[in-house]
Structure 1
Amino acid sequence: MANIPPGQVKKHLNGVTLLCLAFVICNSWAGIAGSLQLALLAGGPSTLIYSILVSTSAYLAISSSLAELASVYPTAGGQYHFTSILAPKKWRRGLSYACGILSLFSWLAIGVSVTIVSSQQLLALVSTGTSGFEVKRWHVFFCYEGFALLSVLYNTLLLKRNPWTHNIGFALTIVLFLVAFISLLVRANPKQSHEFVWDTLLNFTGWPDGVCFLIGLSTSCYMYIGVDASMHMAEECSNPERAVPRTMVGAIGIGFTTGFAYAVAQVYAIYNVEEIMLSSQWIPFLVLEQGLRSRTFALVLTAFTIVMALFIIIASQETSSRMVWALARDHGLVFSRHLEKIDSHLDVPIWGLFLVWLMTSLCGFLYLASQTAFNAIVGSSVIFQQLSFAIPILLLLMRKRSTTYLPPTRTFSMPNVLGWTVNIYALSFITLMTVILCLPFTLPTDAATMNYTSVILGLCLLFGLVNWWLHAKTRYNGPVMEQSEDQDSDPVSVLAVPRQSNHLDKLNIK
């Protein structure tokens, strides 16, 4: 297999395609549709609606904080590269490595979650349309493995030659949103009252109402899962210093517009909340059927959302493989000398893609063994992602947002006072959600309903330590660094990544 140098990859994405990729993964309105039952249990309609406002403001702060850094250091490593730049010298290796492992696990968990949802969608469609068909766990398993395999084959053989795939996925997402949104408004008759939608709290969690609302935030956080996708594709994008920051903030804007509008329309449209919360059916389909007042219409729309879901899996696998490639390029993973290679014919990190597929596939076997354990992996995606964001934001605050790290010439910048406010708000939100996401969803709890996110975090820590001692301890040094002549010995060492733009060259980034 022929390979090109590990630090080089061809640029094939423009700003529009990058935005399409980022939003296809977030797919905010579809995320709300798929988690409505959880939202109704943890606070009801008003909590769902208002939690979207809170999570949007928080993720806008998070994305703006990272966008400032990405406008100066647009590399595939994203947040762990920022960490390496901002951390004190004695902590640089350890902190950046930890951030990279957290980011890698967040993307693996994102891929697992969208793949299992696609499988459940397909089987819900089959069971609804086929009399007497009962969905078994092994049915879901084989669909899951099929989606994962199909996506990795497309990523390996076709996606690089057809980058417009993400544009098609984006167009399909927007069209389906408009069809669903308008149809819910038109066909739902009678609609729920304004009081039900805007002023109804339903607390079935056993927690006090305040904690219940915070638990409900976890649902709306899923709207923005994968918001960092554009950072990890930066080295395959032309003019990444401008495109990546705009994409991150733009994905939040589109996500809020579609997600909030769909949530309001769907809550107005449902007519039997009790059925939704107690049903053993696949809830997103039941919600859609209630809202549209038609099983046939719901079946047709679900069929198209399965196609849409395939675009999400493809995009998430692509981004995950770039995260693997970035870590391997910095010698952070076992078998890095293979994982860092870019195939010269296919122009993709083929071994990185294979590793992502392998890990996703193995999680499918975990689903067969224990659905509770599998769900813990799916649920951990948000906390892994947020923790990986928190590290560089905290370090940026510790560096007092110095112009040494955020030069005034950057293409995306916030006024200093606003920057401080946004960074502190983002870090405070992540700190709060780290605690909330580890709480059991209901009280009292038992082995089946316990929140095992903390266990998954522990396993991630164990994997990171094993990989560190077996490989990274002696080989990983973070991204290649070069000290600027006009800086003292302690502040930033500047990131050096091959084939970056002229703007980075001026900053001694080679």
Structure 2
Amino acid sequence: MSADEKRAVKTSTGTAHGPGYGDDESLNAIRHADDVLLAKLGYKSEFRREFSLVETIAFAFSIMGVVASVSSTMSFPLVSGGHVGMVFGWLIPCFFVMTIAASLAELTSAMPTSAGLYYFSAKLAPPRWAPLASWITGWANVTGQVALVCSIDFTCAQMIVTALNVGSNGAINLGAGPTFGILLAILFTHGIVCSAATAVIARLNIFYVIVNVGTTIAAIVVLLACSGNQRVSTDTAFTMYENNTGWSNNGWAFLLAFTSPMWTLTGYDSAAHISEETANAARAAPIAILVGVGATASLGWLLFIAASFATASVSQLLGTDLPLPMGQLFLNVLGKQGMLAIWSLIIVVQYVTGAAQGVDASRVVFAFARDNALPGSRWWKKMHPWTRTPVNAVWLVMALSGICGFLGFSETALSSLAGASVIGLTRLHPGPFTLGKWYMPIGIVAVSWVSFIVVLLVFPPEVHPTADTMNYTVVIIMSVFIFASLSWVISARKWFKGPVKTVEDRDGIVGEFDEKGARVEEKSVESH
């Protein structure tokens, strides 16, 4: 560790920029150390480092949108296990997801760059296979990020449709066309929000987390306090099992309930993707990953327990005419006015979750384009001169998400697949956060779990799927891998060598390089 980096760690305990930072001089030292470390990883610092520790945690937590995500995925545990599916179908996967989060936190601490997953894969793979590993992981990650934006915003549109249906006593029942129109409107507004300067985005995440946590706690309280006579016994809430999948094997049916937490507990690697916008990133980003996952897992479990107690009839919720069963549960418990009040807050949570995911996806696109791996990379890696953010990448994400929604792909578990490509067992120079001797057993558990869950998540939730109920994850995954594989064989293997150095660090002096690797200038690293 350099003298600048050591000094930055020692001075990162004050409060000027937020908890965990000192006065302006100390903060500048931290940012300078961040830029030096980024140069060692091969990249020029182009963002303003405006995210504090608290704001980075808020971003990682908000992107999972616990109350909105639980509300939008409640049908999976209802179908796959009823009360047991809600309570234990959430709890069990959370332990395994924490091993993935711990491994990613260690990698992020060692290599805090917006490239994230595909950069890690390039460094962990044997040199001969590093470009291919980086290429496949990068395309899987980009596709997963875009699909997740579409999925979140499509669900937000469904939530709005649900509110309109309840508010009009069923008179307004919008079909696929109007829902798609709402999706496009949401994507457009998210494009505006995500194009803002880093400082604005960082501060917005404090608002996001307040709304998120406040709404989640409110939902837990009202489900328990207002369910009255329809509240079931403790024995029923924790032990009553119902298999509504059509699968004859109850054990297999229960496993399909894992879709809900796996859909919710995605995006926590977002802290890595904004690490070039974070002060003291090697420390703040891994903390954000672990706190974000831990808090989401805990609050989500409490919310599902409350929902299990408030569910008098699983079959009645599954038979609702509303797009989402959670909406029917709130309607049963709170009545029309109460349901609309809490549902409006959940819509806000889903909306801000989509905004956070839009930022995350745009940083992934920017980073992959920076390594010249995308068609039109020179456009998507451009930084706006005013905001110092990749505005072109933002609007590319929104456009592709709109296309994704037009094709009808509204849900995907591709983020889990992207994570599978980057959990390695090779040791690197550790950052401030390290798993120490536990890296091997934790890594083994993480890899085993991801290998299992990726297979599980391509199965349909019910037997005899139709075009409307089919799980399209497998279509997206195969499309991405066929494209990535063919493009690699035909062209990319000849020119793509993995992450491209844009700077070379020599005692604080960095040289910039063009797309072909030729040096174009030389200057000292500057803090922002």
* TM-score by shorter chain over 0.5: yes
Equivalent position of 1:196 in the other structure: 236
AA aligned opposite 2:158? Q
Equivalent residue, structure 2, for 1:285: 327
Q: Structure 1 residues 483 and 92 mapped into 2: Cα distance closer, same or farther (>3 Å)?
A: farther
- Paired residue for 2:129, among 71, 84, 91? 91
Greater displacement, 9-18 / 241-250? 9-18
- Give CA deviations for 1:302-339 in whole Å, capped at 9, x if unaligned: 11222222211111111100000000011111111111
Alignment gaps of 5+ in structure 2: 1-42, 507-516, 518-524
Note closer, same or farther for the CA distance 1:453–1:162 as it changes in structure 2 (3 Å cut): closer
Using the TM superposition, give the Cα deviation of residue 150 of structure 1 relative to its aligned residue in structure 2, in angstroms. 0.6
Q: Separation in 2 of the partners of 1:448 and 1:121?
A: 19
**2:416 equivalent among 356, 368, 386:** 386
Counterparts of 2:186 and 2:491 in 1: how far apart (Å)?
32
1:459-470 pair list within 5 angstroms: 459-465=479-485, 468=488
| 1:224-373 alignment, distance < 5 Å | 224-282=265-323, 283-290=325-332, 292-367=333-408
Secondary structure of the 1:442 match is: coil
Q: How far is 1:474 from its partner?
A: 4.3
Structure 1 counterpart of 2:449, from 429, 444, 448: 429
1:355 CA drift (Å):
0.8
| C-alpha spacing 1:470/1:140, structure 2 compared with 1 (3 Å) | farther
Q: Which of 215, 223, 232 in structure 2 is aligned with 1:176?
A: 215
- 2: distance between equivalents of 1:73 and 1:160? 23
CA-CA distance at 1:7 after TM superposition: 5.2
The change in CA–CA distance for 1:336 and 1:266 in structure 2 (over 3 A counts) is same
- Cα drift, residue 158 of structure 1: 5.9
Task: Name the amino acid aligned to 1:110.
Answer: L
Alpha-carbon deviation of 1:57? 0.6
Cα distance in structure 1, aligned partners of 2:223 and 2:460: 33
Structure 2 residue 150 is matched with structure 1 residue 112 = yes
CA contact (8 A) 1:26 1:255 kept: yes
The corresponding residue for 1:74 is 112
Cα shift at 1:483 = 11
- Counterpart contact for 1:332–1:475, Cα < 8 Å: no
Q: What is the alpha-carbon distance in structure 2 between the residues aligned to residue 194 and residue 231 of structure 1?
A: 41
Distance 1:457 1:280 in 2: 31
Q: Which residue does 1:492 correspond to in 2?
A: none
The residue identity in structure 2 corresponding to 1:89 is: P
Counterpart residue identity of residue 284, structure 1 = M
- SS, match of residue 193 in structure 2: helix
Conserved? CA contact 2:167–2:336, under 8 Å: no
1:142 and 2:181 matched? yes
Superposed counterparts of 1:36-75, under 5 Å? 36-75=74-113
CA apart distance, 1:64: 0.2
Q: Please tell me the residue identity of whatever aligns with 2:209.
A: F
Pick closer, same or farther for the CA change 1:446–1:223 going to 2, 3 Å.
Answer: closer
Between 151-160 and 72-81, report the one with greater CA deviation: 151-160
> 2:504 and 2:188 mapped to 1: Cα distance?
44
Taking structure 1 as the reference length, the TM-score comes to: 0.86
Q: 1:159 to 1:8 in 2, by over 3 A?
A: closer
**Contact kept? 2:76, 2:461, Cα under 8 Å:** no
Q: Which amino acid letter does the alignment assign opposite residue 184 of structure 2? A: E
Decide whether the 8 Å contact of 1:325 with 1:339 is kept in 2. Answer: yes
8 Å Cα contact 1:6/1:329 also seen in 2: no
Matched, 1:413 2:434: yes
Unaligned runs of 5+ in 1: 368-373, 486-495, 497-504, 506-510
**What RMSD in Å do the two structures reach over aligned CA positions?**
2.3
Note if contact 2:190-2:358 (Cα within 8 Å) is conserved in structure 1: yes
3-state DSSP of counterpart to 1:318: helix
Q: Show the 5 A alignment for 1:198-213.
A: 198-207=238-247, 208-213=249-254
Q: Cα distance, 1:446 vs. partner?
A: 4.2
Q: Equivalent residues in 2 for 1:482-501 (5 A)?
A: none
| TM-aligned CA distance change 1:117 to 1:452, over 3 Å | closer
| 1:468 CA displacement | 4.3
- Match of 1:342, SS state, is coil
* Identity percentage of aligned residues: 23
Counterpart in the other structure of 2:195: 156
Aligned residues: 461
One-letter amino acid of the counterpart of residue 48, structure 2: K
Determine the C-alpha separation between the residues in 2 that align with 1:206 and 1:79. 37
Instruction: Report deviation, 1:47.
Output: 2.4
469 and 419 in structure 1: CA distance in 2 versus 1, 3 angstrom threshold: closer
CA pair 162-66 structure 1, distance change in 2 beyond 3 A: closer
Shifted more, 164-173 versus 20-29: the winner is 20-29
Could you tell me how far apart the structure 2 residues matched to 1:258 and 1:467 are? 43
Report SS of the residue matched to 2:110: coil
Decide whether aligned partners of structure 1 residues 102 and 222 sit closer, same or farther in structure 2, where only a CA change above 3 A counts. same
Q: Residue type of the partner of 1:203?
A: N
Read off the aligned partner of 1:289 and give its amino acid letter.
L
- The alpha carbon displacement at 1:58 in A equals 0.9
Residue 279 of structure 1, CA deviation: 1.8
Tell me by how many angstroms 1:440 deviates: 2.5
